[in-house]
Structure 1
Amino acid sequence: MAPYMLQIARFGAHVRVACLSGVAGCLLVVGIESGTFLQHVLQIAPIGIVLAFAIRREAWTAPAAVGLFGCWAFFMGLIWVYLAGVRTFFTGTYTLLEIASTILISGFCIGGIIASRTAEQTMGRGRRILISIGFVALQLAVMWLSLFGLDWTK
C-alpha cells in the first residue's frame, strides 16, 4: 500500500473510533435523560466490543462498525418517522436533548460509514459483508433484549 494510502487508512481508523465513541456517548446521555440508563448501557455493548478491538487496529472492526453505524442510522430514521407522526416501535415523548442526540448520532453514523470506507482492505468482500451482517444481527438482538426481553423494573 502506498504511504499516503496508509496515512488515509490510519486517519479513517481514528475517525471511526471517534464516531463509535460519539454514538455511544450520545446514547448514554439519552439513557440518563430518559431514565433508561441501564437499557442504553446494554444497547451500546456491541459498540463497546468493536471499540475495544478497533483501538488495537483489528481489521474486522471496519466492517463491524459499518454494520453498527447502519443499524443506528436506521434506528434514528425510525425515531424521526415516529416524530413525524407515523407509528413505529419507538414510542413515547422525546425531549429536546433526545431529539438533538438523534441528529448527532445520525451525523456520527454517516461520518463513521465514510471513514470505514478508507480502511485497509485485508480481507475479501464476502467476509466483510458477513462481519457487517453479524454485527447488525447482534445489535438487533441486543436492542430487542433491552426493549422487550428484560424486566428493568426490578
Structure 2
Amino acid sequence: MSNNVNMNTNQASGGPNAGQSTDLFDELHRSFIDLFAPLRCDYENTPNPNVETYRAASEHSVPKFADHARAMELYFVRWRTIFGHLDPNELIKEEIAEMESEIRRKDATCARIYEKLDNWKALFESESLDQRKDISRADEPMYQEGTPTKP
C-alpha cells in the first residue's frame, strides 16, 4: 500500500517512484561493486587466496545483483507503461523540465564551487603578499650608512 502512495506522489516529478529510481540505481551500483569485491584482493596480505571464500561470496552477490537489475528494469517498464499512452510531446516537455531543473541544480553547485574558489584565491593571494613582505624585510640590510641600526 505504501508503494502506491509513493507512486502517486512522485508521478508529477517524473515517473513512478521517481525518488526510488536513484535508490534503485544506488542499490544496483552497490551490488555491482559487491559482486567484484572478492576479486579485488590484496595479494601482499593474502598470498594464498581462498577459492571457497570467493565462491561463497559470489554465490551471495550474483543473485543480489540480478535482483537489483530486475528491479531497475521493472522500474523502467512501469515508467514506460504509465507514460507510454501520453502524447510524445508531453513526454518530451516533461523530460525537458527535468533536465532544466537538473541544470539549475548543477549551476547552483558550480556557483558555490566558484565562490569557494574565489575565497581560496583571495586567501592564497593575501598569504603570498605576506610572504613577499617577509622576504623583502629579510633582504633589507640591518645597517644603512647614515642611519642608526635597526633593532
TM-score range, shorter chain: 0.3 to 0.5
Q: TM-score, normalised by structure 2?
A: 0.33
Q: TM-score, normalised by structure 1?
A: 0.32
Structure number with the bigger relative contact order (C-alpha 8 A, sep ≥ 6) is 1
